[in-house]
Amino acid sequence: MVSAVFHSPLDAAAPQAPRDARSAPYSVAAHANGTGATATNSMNNQTTPAGPAARRQWDASLIWQGLLPPLLGLGLLVLVWELVSMGTGASIPSPKDTLAQAVQIFSDPFYSNGPNDQGIGWNILSSLQRVAVGFGLAAAVGIPAGFLIGRFTFLSRMFNPLISLLRPVSPLAWLPIGLLVFKGADPAAIWTIFICSIWPMIINTAVGVQRVPQDYMNVARVLNLSEWKIVTKILFPSVLPYMLTGVRLAVGTAWLVIVAAEMLTGGVGIGFWVWDEWNNLNVKNIIVAIFVIGVVGLVLEFALIKLATAFTFEEVKN
Amino acid sequence: MNTSLATKYIEIQGVEQSFKTKKGPFCALQDINLTVAKGEFVTLIGHSGCGKSTLLNLMAGLTTPTQGTLLCANREIAGPGPERAVVFQNHSLLPWLTCFENVYLAVERVFSANENKGKLKARTEAALAMVGLTPAAHKRPGEISGGMKQRVGIARALSMEPKVLLLDEPFGALDALTRARLQDELLQIVASTQSTVVMVTHDVDEAVLLSDRIVMLTNGPAATIGEVLQVDLPRPRSRVALAEDLRYLGGRKAVIDFLYTRQAHVEKAA
């Protein structure tokens, strides 16, 4: 589940060379992607001597290598979709009809005709709100827990078996427990988000704390820095990139899970909306929803990658 | 100050250092006896893996010896502290702080008890000016060259006004030209601050050019001091003039002879 989060096309669009140095667990797939993109870009840059002729050549190669492949990919998707649509006798709606439906849906995203008929904007916002609450709670618990587990070997040995046991459990398996304990659909969905997003944050923060370079700790010892200065000037800044990797994985997983959780719990939300449209046999809306879910996930991922890059610094060589 | 403290500023007596490994204890250093006078420049030289850095870490207090004692100004070295500043081989600057902030962190720790912020900032600026880095003060380590980073490391160490300056192969990772320039700068700085310096190096020319005494270590395991060479070249020293100086060449010959004839490095079968 976690690795699936990583195959987002934005990874290729935004090369993350500095991030590669700080490979944390799970991030291998994304890094492979990222380095690939970096390599292509640097090849492009090498063909940039001055002069108008050379510039035109560079522009051509930019279009050829940068713009054309993604457009071809999208074109292929639309083509396959059109063929499937024709093959099924339009029970899967064609791209053109779906686009028309999307335009109609997004022309009024914030209408509200009672709890079961609300605009897509409201549905997205209530899903995002659940993710934010569940994720926020998970961060509030998981990041300090990660610090403690990383700092003290005893705690790490104590909790590692528990984490290994609970982490592979599908978050949806926790939903009944949530419903039982919290006696409500909304808290149960938030609980599910909490439980699925806490593991990457604990694990990545703990790894970050364990990997603080010994050189920095030696500097702290030679300067005889106070415990407060060690935490604020050395530990926290060097753990931050790992922590943000954990946050990124957690948000990605949370966004995957909320759709499934809402299908089961109902209410207002993008997952419930998909299920509702299925009951109405409105396949066009389901396809629109799939695209919306993808775009929102992409935006979340992209924002967090940008955030992580801003806080990643060149490390001391060991 | 009495004369015994002046001649025995750092005193190392019967020091042995061994590490626990999976194959049992590994003895890195044994039977080390050495004194360093106040204001003296001593280099430790030897093949890689002979325990030079281990000895320096002991003097810094980053590690404690398994046997023997180390004294600095008649007090036992019980742990690291700002009075024995270390310049690390890989500069070890904090990458999220600017050069100014890296130095300020050290200055603040040592002097903030008695001085106000303006004075601390002035000290930081003075330290950066001493290594010629005033223009780069507000850049981060990632934005400056390797030589500049190492200079910030030296500025950070000097800014604390340490009693002893410990340098662990400070120029090892630099290109030859940058290294030569920084060596000259270090000579000037040490002459003006009258610092006591212990420096680890594997560069024969660097050792002869900079030091008053060269301490040559035998090959590990269980390395010890093989020979100590007094370098009686007058100061200030100029690398160009020394290139043909017979005393310089003699010193160089003595170190090379020790390192490559008597302690010819035997690579372990890989």
Distance from CA of B146 to the nearest CA of A (A): 11
A6 close to A245: Cβ distance less than 8 angstroms: no
The reply to whether A102 falls in a domain is no
Which residues in B lie closer than 8 A to residue A318 (C-beta atoms)?
A: 90
B215/A contact by beta carbon, under 8 A: no
What the block records as the tokens of B21 is 């490994």
- Chain-wide mean pLDDT for chain B? 88
Give me the tens of pLDDT residue by residue for chain A, a chain 318 residues long. 333 333 344 444 444 444 444 444 444 333 434 333 333 344 444 444 445 555 666 677 777 788 888 899 999 999 999 899 888 877 888 888 888 888 888 887 777 777 667 788 888 898 999 999 999 999 999 999 999 998 888 999 999 999 999 988 888 898 889 889 998 888 999 999 999 999 999 999 999 999 988 889 889 988 888 888 888 888 888 899 899 989 999 999 999 898 888 888 877 888 888 888 888 888 888 888 899 999 999 999 899 888 888 887 766 543
B146 pLDDT above the threshold of 50: yes
Domain end marker among A93, A127, A159:
A93
B49/A contact by beta carbon, under 8 A: no
Distance from CA of A169 to the nearest CA of B (A): 38
Asked whether residue A180 falls in the same domain as residue A276, the answer is yes
Asked whether residue A72 falls in the same domain as residue A120, the answer is no
| Residue in this structure with the two tokens 């304990």, named with its chain if needed | A181
Report the distance separating Cα A192 and Cα A131, nearest Å.
Answer: 10
Distance from CA of A311 to the nearest CA of B (A): 8
Report the distance separating Cα B134 and Cα B151, nearest Å.
Answer: 11
- Listed by number, the residues of chain A in 206-265 with a beta carbon closer than 8 Å to a beta carbon of chain B are 215-216, 218-219, 221-225, 229, 233-234, 237-238
Which residues in B lie closer than 8 A to residue A215 (C-beta atoms)?
A: 88, 90, 92
Asked whether residue A286 falls in the same domain as residue A189, the answer is yes
Instruction: Tally A–B CB contacts below 8 A.
Output: 61
Distance from CA of B239 to the nearest CA of A (A): 31
pLDDT at residue number B229: 92
Residue B7 amino acid letter: T
Asked whether residue A163 falls in the same domain as residue A241, the answer is yes
Q: Do A315 and B95 touch (CB under 8 A)?
A: yes
The reply to whether A52 falls in a domain is yes
Distance from CA of B106 to the nearest CA of A (A): 6
Report the distance separating Cα A243 and Cα A246, nearest Å.
Answer: 5
Q: Do B95 and A234 touch (CB under 8 A)?
A: no
Give residue B3's pLDDT band: very low, low, confident or very high (50, 70, 90): low
What the block records as the tokens of B84 is 């024995």
What the block records as the tokens of A218 is 């030696």
A159-178 burial: b if 16+ Cβ within 10 Å, else e? eeeebeeeeeeebeebbeeb
Asked whether residue A46 falls in the same domain as residue A126, the answer is no
B72 pLDDT above the threshold of 60: yes
Asked whether residue A121 falls in the same domain as residue A244, the answer is yes
Report the distance separating Cα B199 and Cα B193, nearest Å.
Answer: 16
Element of type H or E holding A121: helix A120-151
What the block records as the tokens of A115 is 């709890």
Report the distance separating Cα A203 and Cα A147, nearest Å.
Answer: 9
B84/A contact by beta carbon, under 8 A: yes
Q: pTM to 2 decimals?
A: 0.71
Give residue B267's pLDDT band: very low, low, confident or very high (50, 70, 90): low
B120/A contact by beta carbon, under 8 A: no
Asked whether residue A61 falls in the same domain as residue A111, the answer is no
Q: Work out the percent of chain B whose per-residue pLDDT is above 90.
A: 40
Check residue B77 and report its DSSP letter: -
Distance (Å) of CA A35 to CA A32, A42, A73, A293: 5, 11, 20, 27
pLDDT at residue number A52: 55
pLDDT at residue number A146: 93
pLDDT digits (tens, 9 = 90+) for B35-58: 999 999 999 998 888 888 899 999
Which residues in B lie closer than 8 A to residue A237 (C-beta atoms)?
A: 94, 96
Indicate which of B105, B161, B168 best probes the interface with A, i.e. most A CBs within 10 Å of its own CB.
B105
A95/B contact by beta carbon, under 8 A: no
Domain end marker among A93, A115, A135:
A93
Burial (CB count within 10 angstroms: exposed 0-12, middle 13-18, buried 19+), residue B58: buried
CATH of residue A292's domain is 1.10.3720.10
B68 pLDDT above the threshold of 50: yes
B200 pLDDT above the threshold of 90: yes
Residue of B nearest to A241 (CA): B96
Give residue B213's pLDDT band: very low, low, confident or very high (50, 70, 90): very high
Task: Measure the N-to-C terminal CA separation of chain B; round to a whole number of Å.
Answer: 53
Asked whether residue A249 falls in the same domain as residue A145, the answer is yes
Q: Do B92 and A316 touch (CB under 8 A)?
A: yes
Element of type H or E holding A5: none
Write the residue in A215, A224, A311 that is nearest to B90 by C-beta: A215
Q: Do A224 and B109 touch (CB under 8 A)?
A: yes
Asked whether residue A76 falls in the same domain as residue A120, the answer is no
Which residues in A lie closer than 8 A to residue B105 (C-beta atoms)?
A: 223, 225, 229, 233
Distance from CA of B109 to the nearest CA of A (A): 7
Q: Do B106 and A224 touch (CB under 8 A)?
A: no
pLDDT at residue number A30: 38
The reply to whether A206 falls in a domain is yes
Element of type H or E holding A152: none
Full residue range of the structural domain in which residue A270 is found: 107-310
Asked whether residue A82 falls in the same domain as residue A215, the answer is no
Asked whether residue A87 falls in the same domain as residue A113, the answer is no
The reply to whether A317 falls in a domain is no
Asked whether residue A24 falls in the same domain as residue A112, the answer is no
The reply to whether A65 falls in a domain is yes
B101 pLDDT above the threshold of 90: yes
pLDDT digits (tens, 9 = 90+) for B164-186: 999 998 888 788 888 888 898 88
Distance from CA of B47 to the nearest CA of A (A): 20
pLDDT at residue number A14: 42
**Is the complex ipTM higher than 0.85?**
no
Write the residue in A222, A223, A314 that is nearest to B141 by C-beta: A314
The reply to whether A272 falls in a domain is yes
Write the residue in B92, B141, B173 that is nearest to A218 by C-beta: B92
Distance (Å) of CA B245 to CA A92, B166, B204, B252: 91, 28, 15, 11
pLDDT at residue number B266: 59
pLDDT at residue number B103: 94
Domain end marker among A29, A61, A93:
A93
The reply to whether A153 falls in a domain is yes
What the block records as the tokens of A177 is 């427990």
Q: How many domains does chain A have?
A: 2
DSSP string, B140-197: -GGGS-HHHHHHHHHHHHHHT--SEEEEESTTTTS-HHHHHHHHHHHHHHHHHHT-EE
The reply to whether A82 falls in a domain is yes
Residue of B nearest to A18 (CA): B142
pLDDT at residue number B5: 66
Which residues in B lie closer than 8 A to residue A316 (C-beta atoms)?
A: 90-93, 95
Q: Do A314 and B142 touch (CB under 8 A)?
A: yes
